[in-house]
């Protein structure tokens, strides 16, 4: 079976906009639970301004306590060289930068124009590589911007090329507001793959319109084998109206397994992580498949009639 890598983003993207501060001890409990479930790639935190995103103020402390650091690929988000310096001091080995595809989204997100953001990202990627770190670049609002509307594939391709030329090891195509559909995913990758191999790319889909798994399927057909998701569907972008609805990790795992792909993730253990995420956030979480998954789990644990097993 073909291997697909799931990059869990619940700890960062999932929690960054949560209204009450989650103690670092609870974040580490969730990280441990996700590792136990078999996840081996995780975006753990971000080294952004604590004033802008208070939930991430404990980034250095969290990094010091992360479990399974020898066999788990942890990455962190950094907005610029200042954030990179903090990440390096905390022991980060891989950093992610975010470059939105439109002027207005960059202004709303980090208070800079697209041109200035490109300069900052290029400089930060180059410095990260010079320090021996892996650097990855998100191209946000890669399909639609909530402020400027449709984003053309050529724009995304040019930004991706610029990040790769600077030294980025991977470009993550981000459907920040959940506006993508399979036809547009196919169209975008037709342009992207004229320039680079599919192994260079990953995808970050939101499930706002219930299209996320359709878009995953189309990306798989293009050769992409790495996808972001968030336990229980936690999170979204706090700077983008209507962006809530990250693709739930449990939905993605179920979908991939049923379609014959291998992820290394135990669904049974992952459901425990969803329950833990619910406990520490106080939110009713769970992807679109949770009703089925819970019912299926109940059937498996239900005693057979007359106390007999039903194995035949």
The DSSP annotation for 236-275 comes to --TTSTT---BPBHHHHHHHHHHTT-B-S--HHHHHHHHH
| Residue 297 within a domain | no
Strands 149-150 and 144-145: antiparallel
pTM comes to 0.93
Rg value, the chain, Cα: 19
Confidence (pLDDT) at 266: 98
Confidence (pLDDT) at 312: 42
Where is 76: in which H helix or E strand? Answer: strand 73-77
| Residue 312 within a domain | no
Name, in order, each residue with C-beta under 8 angstroms of 312's C-beta and a sequence gap of 6 or more.
none
Q: Which domain holds residue 76?
A: 5-286
CA distances from 138 to 59, 117, 142, 163, 293 (A): 20, 12, 9, 9, 31
Residues 99, 163 contacting (CB under 8 angstroms): yes
What is the tally of structural domains in the chain? Answer: 1
| Residue 139 within a domain | yes
Write phi, then psi, for 154 (nearest 5 degrees): -60, -35
Residues 99, 118 contacting (CB under 8 angstroms): yes
| Residue 282 within a domain | yes
pLDDT tens for the chain, 312 residues: list them. Answer: 899 999 999 999 999 988 899 999 999 999 999 999 999 999 999 999 999 999 999 999 999 999 987 899 999 999 999 999 999 999 999 999 999 999 999 998 889 999 999 999 999 999 999 999 999 999 999 999 999 999 999 999 999 999 999 999 999 999 999 999 999 999 999 999 999 999 999 999 999 999 999 999 999 999 999 999 999 999 865 555 555 589 999 999 999 999 999 999 999 999 999 999 999 999 999 999 999 999 988 777 666 555 544 444
How many Cβ atoms are within 10 Å of 292's Cβ, its own excluded? 11
Give the residues across from 86 on adjacent strands.
none
**Position of tokens 């942890």?**
74
| Residue 291 within a domain | no
Q: Which of 4, 3, 9 is nearest to 206 (CA)?
A: 9
What the block records as the tokens of 106 is 């960059």
How many Cβ atoms are within 10 Å of 196's Cβ, its own excluded? 14
| Residue 295 within a domain | no
Confidence (pLDDT) at 310: 44
Name, in order, each residue with C-beta under 8 angstroms of 240's C-beta and a sequence gap of 6 or more.
105, 108, 109, 141, 146, 176, 177
Confidence (pLDDT) at 300: 72
Residues marked active site are found at 237
Confidence (pLDDT) at 296: 87
| Residue 80 within a domain | yes
Q: Which CATH number belongs to the domain containing residue 211 in this structure?
A: 3.20.20.70
CA atoms within 13 A of residue 33's CA, in its CB half-sphere:
23
| Residue 307 within a domain | no
């Amino acid at each position: 079976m073909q291997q697909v890598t799931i990059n869990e983003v619940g700890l960062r993207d999932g929690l960054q906009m949560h209204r009450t501060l989650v103690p670092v001890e609870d974040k580490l409990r969730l990280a441990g639970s996700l590792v136990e479930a078999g996840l081996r790639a995780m975006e753990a935190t971000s080294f952004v301004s604590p004033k802008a995103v208070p939930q991430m103020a404990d980034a250095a402390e969290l990094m010091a306590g992360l479990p399974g650091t020898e066999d788990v690929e942890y990455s962190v988000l950094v907005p610029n060289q200042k954030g990179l310096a903090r990440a390096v001091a905390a022991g980060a080995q891989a950093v992610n930068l975010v470059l939105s595809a439109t002027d207005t989204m960059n202004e709303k997100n980090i208070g800079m124009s697209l041109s200035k953001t490109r300069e900052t990202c290029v400089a930060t990627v180059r410095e990260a590589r010079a320090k021996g770190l892996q650097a990855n670049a998100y191209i946000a609002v890669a399909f639609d911007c909530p402020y400027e509307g449709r984003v053309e594939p050529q724009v995304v391709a040019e930004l991706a090329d610029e990040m790769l030329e600077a030294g980025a090891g991977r470009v993550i195509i981000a459907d920040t507001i959940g506006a993508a559909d399979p036809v547009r995913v196919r169209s975008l990758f037709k342009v992207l793959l004229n320039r680079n191999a599919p192994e260079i790319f990953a995808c970050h889909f939101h499930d706002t319109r219930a299209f996320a798994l359709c878009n995953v399927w189309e990306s798989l057909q293009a050769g992409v084998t790495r996808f972001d998701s968030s336990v229980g569907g936690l999170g979204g972008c706090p700077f983008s109206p209507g962006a809530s609805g990250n693709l739930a990790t449990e939905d993605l795992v179920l979908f991939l397994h049923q379609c014959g792909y291998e992820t290394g993730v135990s669904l049974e253990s992952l459901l425990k992580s969803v329950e833990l995420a619910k406990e520490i956030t106080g939110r009713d979480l769970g992807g679109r498949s949770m009703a089925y998954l819970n019912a299926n789990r109940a059937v498996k644990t239900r005693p057979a009639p007359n106390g007999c097993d039903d194995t035949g």
